[in-house]
C-alpha cells in the first residue's frame, strides 16, 4: 500500500495558510444536510463537534461517559503550550515546531508539527474567549511557566487543573451547539464497530450502555477522537474507562495503526504500592520546575530508606546524587519525559531506589521553598527578622500557591507531607504517541474516517513534550479538522442521506451482536479484570521502559496464549440487555489483547532506540538511546491480520531541520 | 482490616431497591473504590453480580464517582471525592453504608449509578459564552484582574459530580448552577451575557425539578472542590437583576 501523507507543496511556513486558503469548501446550504459522526467528546472530540456544528453541519456526537465533561482530558494538570512569546524569551512558531520535532526524536512529520505550532496561539485566544480562567499576572495579563524539554516559558495554565478548564471550555461550546440543535448528543453510547459502504466510512454501530441495545448510526463521514490506549498496560495514569475499542474496530475494518510501540512513560507518578492497585496517579511535570530529583549516592542509605530505617531528610547533602543535574547539566531536572523516566529506572535498577519496592526516586522541594522564601522576605524588606523558620514559612506559601492542589493530592494518597519531606515518584504509563495513521487532513487510509487528538499518531513522534497533548487535541478539533474535513465532504455534496438500513449496516450490527453473544456465552471461571491485569504485566515487562528482541518475541507469544485463554475462560456476569460494566470491560480487554500483540511486533521491527522506545541492543557507550536514522526514519503503519499483521512504511522526509543526536547535556 | 458493607442494590430504574450486607477483608492503603473492586472480584468469583458504581479517573477530577457513604456524599473527608478517600480513614470492624446520590432529579440507573443528565441540560441552557471558533481576539487584549481570575477559577473548579444536590435536604442544584454563573459572570469575557445566562439556567434548574435553596449550607460542606455558597448569593442577584430588567 502506498501511503500518501498529502503534504501540501511550498515552503514550510506557508504550507498551511496556502492550503487553507485554496482548499475546497462546502457551501452553507449543503452543510445543513451533510451529517458527521464524532465519536469521543474529550478535548479533540468536543472541540471538533462544537466547531463543526457552528459551521452548520449536522453533527451526532457520542461518548461512553455519562456526560461529555468526564473525558480523561480533564485530568491533565500542568498546562498547554503556545508560541505566543508573551514572556519575550525568544519563543516563536519555529521554536515550538523545532522543540516538538526534536522532543519527538525526529519521528514525526515536519508539516503537521509546523501547523500545530502555528495554530497554537489561536487556541489560547479561543480558550480565553470561552472563559477559561488561565493564571494571570498582577497586570492582568496571562502567566506562563516552563515544561520539560524546552528553554522558554510558553505553558499557559489554570492552577493544576488546566485540562479540566480547557475541557469545560470545549464542553460549554458543545453544550451551546446542542442547545441550538446542530449537535445531537448521545451519552453512554459506546462505538463497537465502524461501518463502511463502498469503501468509505459511513457510520458506526453503538451499544447503548444503559439498555444494552445495539444501534446503527449513519452519516457522510466519521471522526474518531477516542483518546489513547495506555490502559493496555492495566496500570497507567489513564482513567479506568480509557480504551482502544473505537480505534481498534476501525483497524479491523482496514484502518492502519501507526507506531503502536511509541508509549510515553511519565517520570513523575506516585509509585505503585500494592497488587490491589487499580490505577496510578500523576504528579504534574510542572513540579520539575522547582523540584530536584535525587537518590542516595550510597546503596546502604538506599537500603535503609527502603526498610524504613532512614528518611530522605536524614541523608546529608554530600551523599545525594542529583543525577539529572549531573548527567544533563543544560536541561537539568527539566529534561524530556522519556529521558527522565529512563534515568530513574537506571538508578533504581542499580539499587538506589527509595520505596519499599525499590522503585522510587525523590523529588525534593527544599531548595525551592528556601529560595522562594528568601525572595519573598526581600520583597517584604524583612532583612533582620527573616529567620530560617520565617523564610521557610514564606517559601511554603509560595510553593503552595503554585502547586497546592498537587501537594494536597500527594498527601491524601501517601500520608506524607511533601512540604516537609521529599516526594517519592516513579515513572508510569501516561500517553500513547502511536495511534491511527492519518494524512495531513487527519484522514485515515479509509476514506471518510478521520482521527483527531491522542487517537491519531500525528504530531509527537516517539516522545511527546509536556503540555503538548492539550495543544494537539484542541488544534485538531478547533482549527484543523473543521477545515480539512471539507476536502472529503466537498465531494459528497451530491451524496444523499446515508440510510442506516443499508445491508452493510445490518451486517455490521449482526456481527457486533454476535461478538457480544460470544463473550457472554463463554461463562468461564476468571474475571475480565484478571485477564486485564495479566495482559498489563506482560506488556509492561516486555514492551515497557526498555525492550529487547528476545523479550518482545516472548511477550507476543504470551499475549497470543492469553488471548486464547480469554476466549475460553472469561466470566461475564449479568445479561447483555442491561447496564453491564463487566461486559463493557470484556469488549475493551478483548481489543487490548490484540493491540498488545501489535505493539510487541512494532517494537520488534524498530531496531533502534528513539524517544519512549528504548531497545537495549541499541544504545551508545554512555547508555543513551541510539537512534538509527539510516534505516528507521519512517512511520510504521500496520494492517491488522489475525495471524500476520502487515507493515507499511511512510518515509519521513526532513527538509527543514537537520537530524541530530538529541542531546540535553 | 475486616469491614461490613451495607450496599444499596437496585436492578434498574423500574425495580425497587434494598440494602444488602457484605463482608470484605482489605488493606488500609486501598482507596475506597479499590475496596469495592475487591468486593466485586469476590462476587464475580462466586458467579454473583458485582455492584455497579460510577467511576473513571480515580484522581478526584472527572466528577464521575458518586457514592453516599454513611449518609455523606463522597464520604468522611472534607474537600475530597470518594475515589480519593483511602481506607486508613476507617477502623477494623467498621460497618459502612453505601448509597447512590439521592435526588428525585437523579433517577437510579443500577445499584449506585444514577442519571445526572439534568446537569448537562442546565449547562446547555446557558452555561457558556457565546463565541464561535475563530472569533476570539488576542488572549492578552482583555486584562483580567488577578484576584478576579482566581475567584472565577474557584467557581470553575466545579466537577459537576452532583454531591451538592445529594447533600441538600431540598435537592437543590443551586450551588452547581451558581458556580457556573459565577465562573463566567466574573470574567469580563462572560459578563456581557450574565443576566440572560442567569435567567436561562435558573429556569432550567427549576424545570428539571430540583428544589429551592433555603440556605442550609450542606452543599458547601460536602462539595469536593469546596465551592463557596457565596456563589448562590451572586446567582440570586444576577437572576433578580434579569427579572427586574424585564429580560426575556
Contacts of B153 in chain A (CB under 8 A): 133, 158-159, 165
Is the domain of A238 the same as that of A294?
A: no
Looking at the partner chain, which of B55, B128, B152 has a beta carbon nearest the beta carbon of A240?
Answer: B55
Q: What is the mean pLDDT of residues A82-104?
A: 97
Question: How far apart (Å, rounded) are the C-alpha atoms in residues A279 and A271?
Answer: 11
For A156-182, write each residue's pLDDT tens digit: 999 889 999 999 999 999 999 999 999
Q: What confidence tens digit (pLDDT) does each residue in A1-26 have?
A: 889 999 999 999 999 999 999 999 99
Q: Which of A163, A164, A573 sits opposite B49 (nearest CB)?
A: A573
Give me the mean pLDDT over the B115-143 stretch: 97
> What does the alpha-carbon distance between residue A365 and residue A288 come to, in Å, rounded to a whole number?
9
**Interchain proximity A129–B131, CB inside 8 Å:** yes
Are B132 and B77 in the same domain? no
- Whether B125 sits inside 8 A of A124 (CB atoms) is no
Same domain (yes/no): B121, B215: yes
pLDDT at A78: 83
Dist CA B200 CA A584 (whole Å)? 37
Last residue within a domain, chosen from A427, A444, A472: A427
User: What pLDDT score does B126 carry?
Assistant: 98
Give the distance from residue B200's alpha carbon to the nearest chain A alpha carbon, in angstroms.
12
Q: Which among B51, B79, B110 is the end of a domain? A: B110
Last residue of a domain, one of B57, B75, B110: B110
Residues for chain A: how many in total? Answer: 665
A-B interface: how many C-beta pairs under 8 angstroms?
A: 210
Last residue of a domain, one of A427, A458, A476: A427
Q: Would you state the pLDDT for residue A285? A: 86
Q: Number of folded domains in chain A?
A: 3
CB A121 within 8 A of CB A154: no
Domain end position, chosen among A406, A427, A448: A427
Same domain, B124 and B232: yes
pLDDT for res A363: 97
Q: Domain check: are B155 and B221 in the same one? A: yes
C-beta atoms of B30 and A164 within 8 A: no
Length of chain B, in residues: 248
Give the percent of chain A with pLDDT over 90.
92
Q: Which of residues 191-230 of B touch A (CB under 8 A)?
A: none
Put simply, the answer to whether A125 touches B145 (Cβ < 8 Å) is: no
pLDDT reported for residue A130 = 98
Give the residue-averaged pLDDT of A215-229. 98
Looking at the fold, whether A283 and A225 belong to one and the same domain comes out as no
pLDDT in tens, A104-146: 999 999 999 999 999 999 999 999 999 999 999 999 999 998 8
pLDDT digits (tens, 9 = 90+) for A579-612: 999 999 999 999 999 999 999 999 999 999 999 9
Partners of B54 on chain A (C-beta within 8 Å) are 66
- Specify the CATH number for the domain of residue B176: 1.10.1060.10
Residues of A in contact with B129 (CB under 8 A): 129-131, 172
Q: Domain holding A582: CATH number?
A: 1.20.58.100
- Cross-chain Cβ contact A179/B124 below 8 Å: yes
Question: Are residues B77 and B125 located together in one domain of the fold?
Answer: no
Q: Is B187 on the interface with A (CB under 8 A)?
A: yes
Neighboring chain A residues of B47 at a CB cutoff of 8 Å: 571, 573
Chain-chain contact of B59 with A75 (C-beta, under 8 angstroms): yes
Residues B156 and B81 in one domain: no
A140 with B145: Cβ contact below 8 A: yes
Residues A252 and A277 placed together within one structural domain of the fold: no
* Interface contact B70, partner A, CB < 8 A: no
Looking at B110, B129, B145, which one is the last position of a domain? Answer: B110
**CB-based contact B37 A282, cutoff 8 Å:** no
Contact A131 B84 (CB under 8 A): no
Question: Mean of the pLDDT values across residues A14-41?
Answer: 97
pLDDT digits (tens, 9 = 90+) for B32-80: 999 999 999 999 999 999 999 999 999 999 999 999 999 999 999 999 9
**Confidence label for A405 from pLDDT (cuts 50, 70 and 90):** confident
pTM, 2 dp: 0.97
**What is this model's ipTM?**
0.98
Domain limits for position A52: 37-262+433-489
Structural domains in chain B (count)? 2
List of chain B residues whose C-beta atoms are within 8 Å of the C-beta of residue A578: 11-12, 110
B42 lies within 8 A of chain A by CB? no
- Print the domain residue range for B55: 2-110
Q: How far is B39 from chain A (nearest CA, A)?
A: 12
Band (pLDDT 50/70/90 cuts) for residue A93 is very high
Residue A646 has a CB neighbour count (10 Å cut-off) of 11
| Residue A291 pLDDT class (50, 70, 90 cuts) | very high
Same domain for B76 and B150, yes or no, is no
**Quick one: pLDDT at residue A414?**
86
User: What confidence score (pLDDT) does residue A415 get?
Assistant: 84
Question: Does some domain include residue A6?
Answer: no
Residues A393 and A274 in one domain: yes
Q: What percent of chain B has pLDDT over 70?
A: 100
- B212–chain A nearest CA distance, Å: 24
Query: What was the pLDDT predicted at A327?
Result: 95
Q: Which residues of A are catalytic?
A: 337
**For all residues of chain A together, what is the average pLDDT?**
96
Query: Do A237 and A381 fall within a single domain?
Result: no
Q: What is the grid cell recorded at A631?
A: 534505516
The three grid cell numbers given for residue A592, joined into one nine-digit string: 487490548
Are A330 and A415 in the same domain? yes
CATH number at residue A354: 3.90.700.10
Task: Tell me the pLDDT of chain B averaged across its residues.
Answer: 96
Q: What is the pLDDT at residue B248?
A: 65
Nearest residue of chain B to residue A172 (CA atoms): B128
Residue A28 falls inside a structural domain: no
Q: Which of A20, A81, A128, A478 to probe the B interface (max B CBs under 10 A)?
A: A128
* A546 closest CA partner among A374, A346, A405: A346
Flag whether residue B119 sits within 8 Å of chain A, measured between CB atoms: yes
Calpha distance A453→A443 (Å, rounded)? 12
Q: Report the candidate in A200, A184, A189, A228 with the shortest Cα–Cα distance to residue A52.
A: A184
Contact, B187 vs B144, CB < 8 A?
A: yes
Local confidence band at A500 (pLDDT 50, 70, 90 cut-offs): very high
pLDDT reading at A284 higher than 90: no
My answer on whether B130 and B221 are in the same domain is yes
For B20, the enclosing helix (H) or strand (E) is strand B18-25
Q: Are B205 and B130 in contact (CB under 8 A)?
A: no
- Give dist(CA B121, CA B179) in Å, integer: 15
**Chain A residue numbers touching B231 (CB-CB < 8 A):** none
Q: Say if the Cβ atoms of A126 and B61 lie within 8 Å.
A: no
A-chain residues within 8 Å CB-CB of B31? 278
Q: What's A114's domain CATH number?
A: 3.50.50.60
CA distance A559 to chain B (A): 23
| pLDDT tens-place string over residues B86-116 | 999 999 999 999 999 999 999 999 999 999 9
Kindly report the nearest CA distance between residue B25 and chain A, in angstroms: 12
The cell for A483 is 477545515
B132 and B223 belong to one structural domain: yes
The reported pLDDT for the residue numbered A409 is 86
Distance CA A238, CA A228 (A): 9
Domain check: are B147 and B104 in the same one? no
Q: Name the β-bridge partners of B3.
A: B24
Is there a single domain that holds both residue B56 and residue B131?
A: no
Mark residue B172 as left, alpha or beta (left: phi above 0; alpha: psi -120 to 50; beta: remaining).
beta
Say yes or no: A147 and A53 in one domain: yes
CB-based contact, B92 to chain A, within 8 Å: no
**pLDDT (tens digit per residue) in A447-467:** 999 999 999 999 999 999 999
**Interface contact flag, B57 A75, Cβ < 8 Å:** yes
CA of residue A650 relative to chain centroid, distance: 22
Domain-located, residue A533:
yes
A523/A376 same-domain check? no
What backbone torsions phi and psi does residue A450 show, to the nearest 5 degrees?
Answer: -110, 155
B10: chain A residues, CB-CB within 8 Å: none
Question: How high is the pLDDT of residue A384?
Answer: 75
Q: Are residues B205 and B142 in the same domain?
A: yes
Nearest to B188 by CA among A343, A140, A148, A646: A140
pLDDT band of residue A149 (cuts 50, 70, 90) is confident
Contact A236, A49 (CB under 8 A): no
Residue of chain A minimizing CA distance to B54: A66
For position A212, what pLDDT does the model report? 98
Nearest chain B residue to A406 by CA distance is B59
**Chain A CB within 8 Å of residue B54 CB:** yes
Q: Does B10 touch chain A (CB under 8 A)?
A: no
The answer to whether A611 and A262 are in contact (CB under 8 A) is yes
pLDDT at A362 over 80: yes
pLDDT at A152 over 80: yes
Residue A39, Cβ density class (10 Å: 0-12 exposed, 13-18 middle, ≥19 buried): buried
Amino acid at each position: 500500500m502506498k501511503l500518501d501523507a498529502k503534504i501540501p507543496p511550498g515552503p514550510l511556513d506557508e504550507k498551511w495558510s496556502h492550503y487553507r486558503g485554496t482548499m475546497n469548501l462546502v457551501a452553507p446550504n449543503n452543510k445543513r444536510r451533510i451529517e458527521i459522526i464524532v465519536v469521543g467528546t474529550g478535548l479533540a472530540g468536543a472541540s471538533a463537534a462544537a466547531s463543526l456544528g457552528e459551521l452548520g453541519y449536522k453533527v451526532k456526537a457520542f461518548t461512553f461517559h455519562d456526560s461529555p465533561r468526564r473525558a480523561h482530558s480533564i485530568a491533565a494538570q500542568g498546562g498547554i503550550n503556545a508560541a505566543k512569546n508573551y514572556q519575550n524569551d525568544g519563543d516563536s512558531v519555529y521554536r515550538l515546531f523545532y522543540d516538538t520535532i526534536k522532543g519527538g526524536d525526529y519521528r514525526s512529520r515536519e508539516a503537521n508539527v509546523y501547523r500545530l505550532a502555528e495554530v497554537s496561539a489561536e487556541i489560547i485566544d479561543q480558550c480565553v474567549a470561552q472563559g477559561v480562567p488561565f493564571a494571570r499576572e498582577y497586570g492582568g495579563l496571562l502567566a506562563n511557566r516552563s515544561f520539560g524539554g524546552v528553554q522558554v516559558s510558553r505553558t499557559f495554565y489554570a492552577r493544576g487543573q488546566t485540562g479540566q478548564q480547557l475541557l469545560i471550555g470545549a464542553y460549554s461550546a458543545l453544550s451551546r451547539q446542542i442547545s441550538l440543535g446542530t449537535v445531537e448528543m448521545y451519552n453512554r453510547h459506546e462505538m463497537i464497530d465502524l461501518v463502511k459502504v463502498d469503501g468509505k466510512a459511513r457510520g458506526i454501530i453503538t451499544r447503548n450502555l444503559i439498555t444494552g441495545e445495539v444501534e446503527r448510526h449513519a452519516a457522510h463521514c466519521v471522526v474518531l477522537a477516542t483518546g489513547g490506549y495506555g490502559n493496555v498496560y492495566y496500570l497507567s495514569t489513564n482513567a479506568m474507562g480509557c480504551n482502544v475499542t473505537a480505534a481498534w474496530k476501525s483497524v479491523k475494518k482496514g484502518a492502519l495503526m501507526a507506531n503502536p510501540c511509541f508509549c510515553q512513560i511519565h517520570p513523575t507518578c506516585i509509585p505503585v504500592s500494592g497488587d490491589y492497585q487499580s490505577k496510578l496517579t500523576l504528579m504534574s511535570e510542572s513540579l520539575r520546575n522547582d523540584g530536584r530529583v535525587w537518590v542516595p549516592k550510597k546503596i546502604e542509605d538506599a537500603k535503609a530508606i527502603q526498610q524504613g530505617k532512614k528518611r530522605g531528610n536524614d541523608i546529608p547533602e554530600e551523599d545525594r546524587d542529583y543525577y539529572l543535574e549531573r548527567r544533563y547539566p543544560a536541561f537539568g531536572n527539566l529534561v524530556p519525559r522519556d529521558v527522565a523516566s529512563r534515568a530513574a529506572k537506571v538508578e533504581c535498577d542499580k539499587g538506589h531506589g527509595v520505596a519499599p519496592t525499590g522503585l522510587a526516586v525523590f523529588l525534593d522541594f527544599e531548595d525551592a521553598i528556601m529560595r522562594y522564601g528568601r525572595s519573598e522576605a526581600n520583597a517584604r524588606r524583612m532583612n533582620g527578622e527573616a529567620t530560617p523558620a520565617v523564610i521557610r514559612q514564606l517559601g511554603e506559601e509560595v510553593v503552595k500557591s503554585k502547586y497546592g492542589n498537587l501537594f494536597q493530592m500527594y498527601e491524601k494518597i501517601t500520608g506524607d507531607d511533601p512540604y516537609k519531606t521529599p516526594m517519592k515518584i516513579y515513572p508510569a504509563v501516561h500517553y500513547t504517541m502511536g495511534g491511527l495513521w492519518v494524512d495531513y487532513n487527519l484522514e485515515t487510509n479509509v476514506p471518510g474516517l478521520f482521527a483527531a487528538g491522542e487517537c491519531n499518531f500525528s504530531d509527537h513522534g516517539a516522545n511527546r513534550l509536556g503540555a503538548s497533548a492539550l495543544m494537539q487535541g484542541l488544534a485538531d478539533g478547533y482549527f484543523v479538522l473543521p477545515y480539512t474535513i471539507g476536502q472529503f465532504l466537498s465531494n459528497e455534496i451530491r451524496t444523499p442521506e446515508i440510510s442506516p438500513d443499508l445491508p452493510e449496516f445490518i451486517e455490521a450490527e449482526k456481527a457486533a451482536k454476535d461478538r457480544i453473544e460470544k463473550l457472554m456465552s463463554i461463562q468461564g471461571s476468571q474475571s475480565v479484570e484478571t485477564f486485564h491485569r495479566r495482559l498489563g504485566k506482560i506488556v509492561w515487562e516486555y514492551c515497557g521502559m526498555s525492550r529487547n528482541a528476545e523479550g518482545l518475541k516472548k511477550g507476543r507469544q504470551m499475549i497470543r496464549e492469553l488471548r486464547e485463554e480469554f476466549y475460553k475462560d472469561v466470566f461475564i456476569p449479568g445479561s447483555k440487555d442491561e447496564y453491564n460494566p463487566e461486559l463493557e470491560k470484556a469488549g475493551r480487554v478483548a481489543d487490548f489483547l490484540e493491540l498488545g500483540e501489535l505493539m510487541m511486533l512494532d517494537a520488534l521491527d524498530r531496531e533502534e532506540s528513539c524517544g519512549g522506545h528504548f531497545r537495549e541492543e541499541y544504545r551508545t557507550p554512555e547508555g543513551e538511546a541510539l537512534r538509527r536514522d539510516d534505516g528507521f526514519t519512517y512511520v510504521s503503519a500496520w494492517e491488522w491480520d489475525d495471524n500476520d499483521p502487515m507493515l507499511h512504511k511512510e518515509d519521513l522526509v526532513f527538509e527543514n531541520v537537520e537530524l541530530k543526536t538529541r542531546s540535553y547535556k | 482490616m475486616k469491614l461490613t458493607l451495607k450496599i444499596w442494590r437496585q436492578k434498574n430504574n423500574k425495580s425497587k431497591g434494598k440494602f444488602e450486607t457484605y463482608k470484605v477483608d482489605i488493606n488500609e492503603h486501598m482507596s475506597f473504590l479499590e475496596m469495592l473492586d475487591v468486593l466485586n472480584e469476590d462476587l464475580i468469583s462466586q458467579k454473583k453480580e458485582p455492584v455497579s458504581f460510577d467511576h473513571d479517573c480515580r484522581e478526584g477530577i472527572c466528577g464521575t464517582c458518586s457514592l453516599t457513604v454513611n449518609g455523606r456524599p463522597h464520604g468522611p473527608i472534607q474537600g475530597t471525592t470518594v475515589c480519593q478517600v483511602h481506607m486508613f480513614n476507617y477502623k477494623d470492624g467498621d460497618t459502612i453504608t453505601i448509597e447512590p446520590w439521592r435526588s428525585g432529579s437523579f433517577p437510579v440507573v443500577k445499584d449506585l449509578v444514577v442519571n445526572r443528565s439534568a446537569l448537562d441540560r442546565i449547562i446547555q441552557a446557558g452555561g457558556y459564552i457565546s463565541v464561535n471558533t475563530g472569533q476570539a481576539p488576542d488572549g492578552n487584549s482583555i486584562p483580567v484582574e488577578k484576584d478576579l481570575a482566581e475567584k472565577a477559577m474557584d467557581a470553575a473548579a466545579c466537577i459537576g459530580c452532583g454531591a451538592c444536590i445529594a447533600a441538600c435536604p431540598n435537592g437543590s442544584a443551586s450551588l452547581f448552577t451558581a458556580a457556573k454563573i459565577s465562573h463566567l459572570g466574573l470574567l469580563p469575557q462572560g459578563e456581557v451575557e450574565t443576566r440572560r445566562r442567569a435567567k436561562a439556567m435558573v429556569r432550567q434548574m427549576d424545570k428539571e425539578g430540583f428544589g429551592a435553596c433555603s440556605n442550609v449550607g450542606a452543599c458547601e460542606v460536602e462539595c469536593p472542590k469546596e465551592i463557596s455558597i457565596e456563589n448562590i448569593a451572586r446567582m440570586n442577584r444576577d437572576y433578580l437583576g434579569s427579572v427586574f430588567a424585564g429580560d426575556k
